[in-house]
Structure 1
Amino acid sequence: MIHLKNSTLMIVLACFSIAACKNGQNSKKTTSENSIVYTGTASVSQGSATVVTQNIFECDRGRKAPIGTSTATDGSKWTVPAEANFTNETFPFASDLFNPCTKVEYASTDEALAALDGKDIIEVDADGEIITAYVFADNYFEMYINGVPVGKDNVPFTQFNSNIVRFKVNTPFTIAMKLVDWEENSGLGSEANRGQAFHPGDGGMVAVFKNAEGDIIATTDSNWKAQTFYTAPLKDLSCASEEGALRLSKTCSTEDSNDGTSYFALHWKIPSNWQSADFDDNEWPNATEFSNKTIGVDNKPAYTNFIDVFDNSQADAQFIWSTNVILDNEVIVRYTVN
């Protein structure tokens, strides 16, 4: 039963079992104890999404990457884990740096660059400088420069890979990226892992940008902006909160489960012009930095082969995400290079 009053969404959670509701048995809490007031700005969905595509990418030893549709309690429909351009042929793929799925696995950035013929370079400004970006994303990214799509991840989920994106642009320029932590359990922000059917995965993205002379001109860090647009799984809604533009889930449980089909998800609408240089992101939160250990990349050659770039002693790039690298599954990050 749902009541909308003074922008407050009250969701009364009754018994999840029809039999328990009829018999008044096996319910862990009374109806009053299950009443939760959600006061945030998101649309709320509960349970699994309707799977539209079972798997958008085949990779040996890779996880399936489904696309689904979740219907929220307010009737709105949401593509989960995100509206991605992976199958959009007009959106250019990034070049492989290290990709077990395609078997293109370079040992160094010099080797990877030597294999490129220049056709990969996306022109933003005809008289611009060639910029080279090195990206490791867990799991998927789409990159725009001044609103122009310049590269998307070659692998939506796993195996873990890294990419090169090259574009021609004048300075200053604005980087905008959609980041997605993919999910096996569509609409529930989780995957089978560590012996549990519903394990909340984690995200994380690191990038380094070099100019035509090979100098590092930008790295990912807390100076970037980062906003959350899809959070799941939530066992209850009382843990979610908002402080201005901050969408917080820091007190929410990230515990594994073998029965997560009744869990909730939060969805926020993405602004239509988030990719553009003139989009106003001043009110967005700054990105949160995470260590290599937290993201878990020390055993992944897609990262460790290139620590001279990602962990450069003079300009060490940081993994970034929103405030919750586990529960926030769709995040947009932005940064302007001056």
Structure 2
Amino acid sequence: MRKFILALSLVSLNLHAASSGYTGTGIPIQGAAAVTTENLFSCEYGRSRLSPVGVKSAAGKRYVVPGQVNYKRVNFAADLYNQCNGVTPDSMADVPISDVPVVEIDPDGQVITGYIFADNYFELYVNGKLVGVDPVPFTPFNSNIVRFKVNKPYEIAVKVVDWEEHSGLGSEQNRGKPYHPGDGGFIASFSDGTVTSPDWYAQTYYTAPIYDLTCVEEVGSQRGSQKCSTEARDDASNAYSLHWDIPANWQTSGDYSDWPKATGFTEDHIGVNNKNAYMNFREKFTGAGASFIWSSNVVLDNLVLLRHRVE
């Protein structure tokens, strides 16, 4: 009976998607999420936005939005700049790099230092081992420093999330509108010369808000929403989200070569010239040759996985 009901649900979902003009591989779900956590983090300093976690369900599938995260204090990456913790150095000269703990991956490996700025949230894995989690899910904007010991070649895997105030709707209150799609961005450099660039791989797993599903185009593994509207609105109750299942072993699987390559973005596009968490250490980011990267849509793609092999 359960399989029969699930089959009927899938048929219903497919008919609904078809009636909306969507023929892609994702699962479209309309409306807001059921909020399970009202606010993951708060800070009395700066502009601390609510960072809710919610659930959207359809046809027997359950998706955590904006993403299933490993947000635990024990895993937090060290602060490069975090006004919530009173860490606000004016330059790299004021950063005690030697105080940053080293995550051991290979006992005889090289110690590598990484500098990370994420809009808004990241989880960094090296050879499948969790190296650091962003301590601030949303705002105020922060940056982090990590150290790990590893032998080459090694694999980098990053989960990046553009957080949302309105759970399941991919939007926030901004510029006078209650439902404004936010944008993401991730940049990092490492002391062994590794930098983020369009040579990395990036795949999206949660896209929202989408008001017309016919705007989505999928070619091969590219989940393209560039033709979809990014207009801010007063009402997003009819917005759709698109979801794809994340592979269980995405941090360690070598099977990502069919993913799309990452898209590079400029500092101006991401808008970091007023963010001390970035500008105070700019020489460690674009100054080191790194690029801001994301999937092909830095506004609507809210949960993205990144992969890169370091030779």
Determine helix, strand or coil for the equivalent of 1:252: coil
Aligned-pair distance for 1:188? Answer: 0.4
Contact 2:182 2:299 in 1 (8 A): yes
Determine helix, strand or coil for the equivalent of 1:284: coil
How far, CA to CA, are the matches of 2:146 and 2:29 in structure 1? Answer: 35
Structure 1 unaligned regions, length at least 5:
14-34, 212-216
| Residue number in structure 2 paired with 1:266 | 242
How far, CA to CA, are the matches of 1:287 and 1:12 in structure 2? Answer: 28
Structure 1 segments (4+ residues) deviating >3 Å: 1-5
| Residue number in structure 1 paired with 2:118 | 137
How far, CA to CA, are the matches of 1:243 and 1:68 in structure 2? Answer: 29
Q: Counterparts in 2 of 1:32-43, with a 5 A limit? A: 35-43=19-27
Aligned-pair distance for 1:117? Answer: 2.6
Q: Which has the higher contact order (CA 8 A, sep 6+)?
A: 2
Q: Counterparts in 2 of 1:228-239, with a 5 A limit? A: 228-239=204-215
Report the aligned-residue RMSD.
1.8
How far, CA to CA, are the matches of 2:256 and 2:96 in structure 1? Answer: 33
Aligned-pair distance for 1:317? Answer: 0.8
Aligned-pair distance for 1:75? Answer: 3.2
1:9 paired with 2:14, answer yes
Contact 1:2 1:10 in 2 (8 A): no
Structure with the higher fraction of residues in helix conformation: 2
Aligned-pair distance for 1:36? Answer: 2.1
- Write the deviation string for residues 157-209 of structure 1: whole angstroms up to 9, x where unpaired: 00000100110101111110000000000000000111111000000000001
| Residue number in structure 2 paired with 1:80 | 65
| Residue number in structure 1 paired with 2:4 | none
**Which structure's CA Rg is the greater one?**
1
How far, CA to CA, are the matches of 2:20 and 2:37 in structure 1? Answer: 33
Q: CA distance change for structure 1 residues 147 and 240 in 2, over 3 Å: closer, same or farther?
A: same
| Residue number in structure 1 paired with 2:5 | none
1:298 paired with 2:273, answer yes
How far, CA to CA, are the matches of 1:241 and 1:227 in structure 2? Answer: 14
| Residue number in structure 2 paired with 1:97 | 80
Contact 2:17 2:28 in 1 (8 A): no
- Write the deviation string for residues 143-164 of structure 1: whole angstroms up to 9, x where unpaired: 0000000001110000000100
How far, CA to CA, are the matches of 2:52 and 2:99 in structure 1? Answer: 33
| Residue number in structure 2 paired with 1:113 | 96
| Residue number in structure 1 paired with 2:226 | 250
- 1:95 alignment partner AA: A
| Residue number in structure 1 paired with 2:57 | 71
How far, CA to CA, are the matches of 1:129 and 1:76 in structure 2? Answer: 42
- TM-score, structure 1 length as denominator? 0.86
Q: CA distance change for structure 1 residues 263 and 2 in 2, over 3 Å: closer, same or farther?
A: farther
Structure 2 unaligned regions, length at least 5:
1-7
Q: Counterparts in 2 of 1:201-240, with a 5 A limit? A: 201-211=182-192, 217-240=193-216
| Residue number in structure 1 paired with 2:260 | 285
Match for residue 297 of structure 2 among 324, 331, 335:
324
- TM-score, structure 2 length as denominator? 0.93
